[in-house]
Structure 1
Amino acid sequence: MNMLRRVLTKAAWAMSLVAAVWGLVACGQDKPAFRGVDITGADYAQGFELSDQNGQVRTLKDFAGKAVVVFFGFTQCPDVCPTALQEMAQAKALLGADGAKLQGIFVTVDPERDTPELLKAYVANFGPDFVALRPTAEQLPKVTKDFKIYYKKVEGKTPTSYTMDHSAGSFMFDPQGRIRLYNRHASGAESLAADAKILLNGK
């Protein structure tokens, strides 16, 4: 009888182990195959409350139902910034009809020179529905800290010819306004579009 009990106990333990392994496999299969860096559940990049190019205060709630890509830069950036925004525009095109559900947002780290008028003209180059956000001098340190964005003013030959060093990646939020992904610079439009499609499908 004791022998039978031991055999049954070992069999039950083995079945439990198999079930646990299959459970882990199933969980792994359910995880979205993102191309960007998955930062779901991060305690930073939680949102913003900033004025746009038209003077309207915007928050993530304004873009509910959309996948949102947020990029920090400045209008006089020679290469990194236009490349990032062009990738967003191309990703929207790749999504076809769902392109309207991918919202590109540009946050300036140079509010001193980037006036609302200049920002409006700048983002219009990449699409009519792009949004530019302009933090005040007081808001800029806070929002960049919230998003863990590095930026630094690099003096030029004249007071107005300075440039800005800054982080080059972007952040993607799901349609519920939750931070989900960090996209490294030059990840490509195809990568952005693929990840946006996953989020728009409710993953």
Structure 2
Amino acid sequence: MFTGIVQGIAIIEDIAAKPGLSTFAVRFPADKVGGVAIGASVAINGTCLTVTCQEGSTLHFDAMQETLRLTTLGDLKAGDPVNFERAARIGDEIGGHLLSGHIHTTAKVVEILRPENNVTLWFEVPEEWARYIFPKGYIAINGASLTIGEVRGNRFNVHLIPETLRATTFGSAQEGQRVNIEIDSQTQTIVDTLARLGYDRPTPTL
């Protein structure tokens, strides 16, 4: 499990593509890999991956074809920055909300607004996932636990303070970029339960 509190930015050093599998070599800040063991779970842009090898502060991860298809990991190239979070341990503070590291879908950055001292990002998700997105609800974007601002149809926004921009890759976000989305599990359970009882929420309209 993860908390949605991004622990820093790592850099993709190399990607070795094989049939049905890609191996990512990811360089972490040196002070963030202490105690890492082979088999440990690390969220890379919100996607839970398993450490297969360690070379100093560089960790290696394998991603199957299905993972590459369902997430934005297949878009990455050497030199790209990524958000990371090591798996939570019993007793850790849950500063965001509990995440599984299993990506539900991807979204596209459709607009970036820069009012004074913060940034507002607008995202567009596939229509079928809009039913789980509510104003002031939780959502994980590239592994970061964020609060939803406005919702318009299958679009929603989040408001980011300077510290979030500094500590994550959102500071370099660009329009048209794809991001990984993990829907809040409690919200999904409630919406799906109500739908089974006949209280289905229609897809929001503009």
TM above 0.5? no
Greater relative contact order structure (CA < 8 Å, 6+ sep): 1
Instruction: From the two aligned structures, give the one with the greater helix fraction.
Output: 1
TM-score (norm 1): 0.28
Structure number with higher strand proportion? 2
Who wins on radius of gyration, i.e. which is larger? 1
